[in-house]
Amino acid sequence: MKTQQSHRFADFLKRYPAFDSIPLLNTLRRREYKRLDQQGHVYLDYTGGGLYPESLVQDHADFLQKRVLGNPHSQNPTSLASTHLMQQARADVLNYFRADPNEYDVVFTPNASGALKLVGESYPFQPGSHFTLVADNHNSVHGIREFARHKGAHISYIPLDPHTLRAPEIKSYLAHRDETKPNLFAFPAQSNFSGVQHPLEWIEQARDLGYDVILDAAAFVPTNRLDLSQVHPDFVPISFYKIFGYPTGVGALISRKQALHKLQRPWFGGGTVRLVSTKADLYILAKNHEAFEDGTPNYLSLPAISMGLRLMSDLDVDHIHHRVMALVEYLLDEMQQLSHSNGAPLVRIYGSTDTKARGGTIAFNLTDPDGAFFPYQLVEAEANKEGISIRAGCFCNPGAGEFSLEITSEQVRTCVKQATIDGVFDVNAYHKCLGSKPSGAVRASLGLASSFEDIVHFLTFLTSFKDRTAIAADGDQYC
């Protein structure tokens, strides 16, 4: 078995000779992630969350043990020490993404969703404004439409081609706008459903038409370089735990200063104001990022952001990208070759089946020899037993789900009605109503610590479905 695997790896290296050419990356799994192999984990949910390298947690703990750090909203020595570290972390974020500090600012948030909500609730939508977004977005982007709707803006979706899961064109959709109003366009640099990477050229196209642009980079930046000296989106939400796994609870809104100034906060809170008067009923908001960081920031965690970014710079995200994409290409090719004894394919991949303009996230379903779908819940449950962490459902990306699985708006409306009894919505009844077609998929996503062995394990697991007959789902459904 071992020899068979080494032959397989040797073949892989012939195809991707650069794979093990970067010593720092080559030894990373052994140095920083031995817990995965010691505990028999095959981790394939990097789009859900990155995994922290051991040294990052250790260095952070060592650092905290040596320092005395107070709440940064004061002028005492321990407070000033925290303020200094926060400023350093802000500068490190700008530097990592090659963003000009004269052009960009960084607002620390709890996560990417927090960053998106800041934009949504503060964007100066007005009657006649347009909020245009591709269907392939995370729910935390879709949620902005409710703020837009509330302020009377038009909301329009750019549909996806059901096969490629790409938007065929965006210009005609963006052309519908009133240039005299504030208009917002949102798309992900990389889909968290299919791994499709949408063209970054859309940023300038939309900005030329007068839109402010949200580039959701949460799923893109863990394995791709985002260079903000080359592209100039107005708002970029990210979560740091997706990049280097630690700490959770810190994200950022990287924002063009001009765009940040357009936002109108619907409230004020601790840390965001220069002056509040109860008697005069007035307040004066702080400037720039300060106006958007509500309450006490996660100041003890921010030094770990600086450390994590330093680590990413040392490893070089371009090298990480090439390594991950070699594994992705191999995995995509092998998955497409898996078949039943009658020749019927075992795997149906949604979106790109090659590595052109895509990242390391693969959405798929398994089908039986007659073409019937294995319930994605079953695939996940069996993967769990093997210690394989994948994800199942629609991954908070209902648009890519609806387009790839060809679920129509009529079906959604009918099934929501049918599954709502006495005002209570039963999600299982909803999915059952959708019938024999799958209402979700399985997602495998690769990242920083992925190894060739992970891929082989995963392919062996997929092969265990060969010649089996699919039976209907019975279990929790989630989308």
Ligand X SMILES: Cc1ncc(COP(=O)(O)O)c(C=O)c1O
By CB under 6 A, residue 439 contacts ligand X:
no
Q: Shortest Cβ distance from residue 65 to ligand X (Å)?
A: 28
Q: Shortest Cβ distance from residue 139 to ligand X (Å)?
A: 8
**Residue from 118, 196, 203, 218 in contact with ligand X (CB under 6 A):** 218
- What separation, in Å, do the N-terminal and C-terminal C-alpha atoms of the chain show? 38
Asked if the bond preceding 247 is cis, omega within 30° of 0, the reply is yes
By CB under 6 A, residue 47 contacts ligand X:
yes
Q: Considering only 31-39, 120-128, 211-219, 258-266, which stretch makes contact with ligand X by CB under 6 A?
A: 211-219
By CB under 6 A, residue 113 contacts ligand X:
yes
**Residue from 69, 106, 107, 112 in contact with ligand X (CB under 6 A):** 112
By CB under 6 A, residue 390 contacts ligand X:
no
Query: Which residue matches tokens 């394989």?
Result: 388
Q: Which two tokens stand for residue 5?
A: 């695997």
Whole-number Å distance between alpha carbons of 432 and 440 = 12
Q: Considering only 110-118, 221-229, 367-375, 458-466, which stretch makes contact with ligand X by CB under 6 A?
A: 110-118
Q: Is 441 helix (H, G, I), strand (E, B) or coil?
A: strand
Q: In the chain, how many H helices and how many E strands?
A: 20, 17
By CB under 6 A, residue 298 contacts ligand X:
no
The one-character DSSP state at 232 is -
Residue 315: other Cβ atoms inside 10 A: 18
By CB under 6 A, residue 194 contacts ligand X:
no
Q: Shortest Cβ distance from residue 238 to ligand X (Å)?
A: 8
Whole-number Å distance between alpha carbons of 248 and 7 = 39
Whether 396 is a known active-site residue: answer yes
**Residue from 83, 224, 239, 389 in contact with ligand X (CB under 6 A):** 239
> Contact, 448 vs 222, CB < 8 A?
yes
Judge residue 433's burial from the number of C-beta atoms within 10 Å of its C-beta, 0-12 exposed, 13-18 middle, 19 or more buried. middle
Q: Which two tokens stand for residue 56?
A: 């990052």
Q: Shortest Cβ distance from residue 447 to ligand X (Å)?
A: 12
> Contact, 104 vs 254, CB < 8 A?
yes
**Residue from 99, 219, 254, 383 in contact with ligand X (CB under 6 A):** 219
Whole-number Å distance between alpha carbons of 315 and 52 = 14
By CB under 6 A, residue 365 contacts ligand X:
no
Q: Which two tokens stand for residue 382?
A: 């069996």
Q: Closer to ligand X at the Cβ: 90 or 198?
A: 198
Q: Closer to ligand X at the Cβ: 317 or 378?
A: 317
Q: Closer to ligand X at the Cβ: 113 or 223?
A: 113
Q: Closer to ligand X at the Cβ: 219 or 456?
A: 219
Q: Closer to ligand X at the Cβ: 131 or 374?
A: 131
Task: Report how far apart, in Å, the C-alpha atoms of 314 and of each of 134, 381, 449 are.
Answer: 34, 37, 15
Q: Considering only 176-184, 199-207, 215-223, 297-305, which stretch makes contact with ligand X by CB under 6 A?
A: 215-223
Residue 357: other Cβ atoms inside 10 A: 14
Q: Considering only 71-79, 216-224, 279-287, 382-390, which stretch makes contact with ligand X by CB under 6 A?
A: 216-224
Q: Is 283 helix (H, G, I), strand (E, B) or coil?
A: strand
**Residue from 29, 60, 138, 289 in contact with ligand X (CB under 6 A):** 138
Binding-residue pattern over the window 4 to 43 for ligand X, x denoting contact by CB under 6 A: ----------------------------------------
Residue 391: other Cβ atoms inside 10 A: 24
Q: Considering only 108-116, 149-157, 346-354, 414-422, which stretch makes contact with ligand X by CB under 6 A?
A: 108-116
Helix (H) or strand (E) holding 158: strand 154-158
Whole-number Å distance between alpha carbons of 417 and 433 = 10
Report which residue type is found at 1.
M
Judge residue 336's burial from the number of C-beta atoms within 10 Å of its C-beta, 0-12 exposed, 13-18 middle, 19 or more buried. middle
Q: Closer to ligand X at the Cβ: 249 or 435?
A: 249
Q: Is 90 helix (H, G, I), strand (E, B) or coil?
A: helix
Q: Shortest Cβ distance from residue 84 to ligand X (Å)?
A: 27
Q: Is 443 helix (H, G, I), strand (E, B) or coil?
A: strand
Q: Considering only 106-114, 121-129, 173-181, 344-352, which stretch makes contact with ligand X by CB under 6 A?
A: 106-114
Whole-number Å distance between alpha carbons of 75 and 12 = 58
By CB under 6 A, residue 158 contacts ligand X:
no
Q: Which of residues 335-364 bind ligand X (CB under 6 A)?
A: none
What are the helix (H) ranges across 111-255? 112-122, 139-142, 144-150, 171-175, 201-208, 241-244
Binding-residue pattern over the window 242 to 261 for ligand X, x denoting contact by CB under 6 A: ---------x----------
The one-character DSSP state at 437 is S
**Residue from 129, 140, 389, 439 in contact with ligand X (CB under 6 A):** 140
By CB under 6 A, residue 133 contacts ligand X:
no
Q: Shortest Cβ distance from residue 255 to ligand X (Å)?
A: 16
Q: Is 38 helix (H, G, I), strand (E, B) or coil?
A: helix
Q: Closer to ligand X at the Cβ: 112 or 228?
A: 112
By CB under 6 A, residue 136 contacts ligand X:
no
By CB under 6 A, residue 214 contacts ligand X:
no
- Which residues of this protein are in contact with ligand X, per CB under 6 A? 47, 111-113, 138, 140, 188, 192, 216, 218-219, 239, 251
Q: Which residues are catalytic, by number?
A: 396
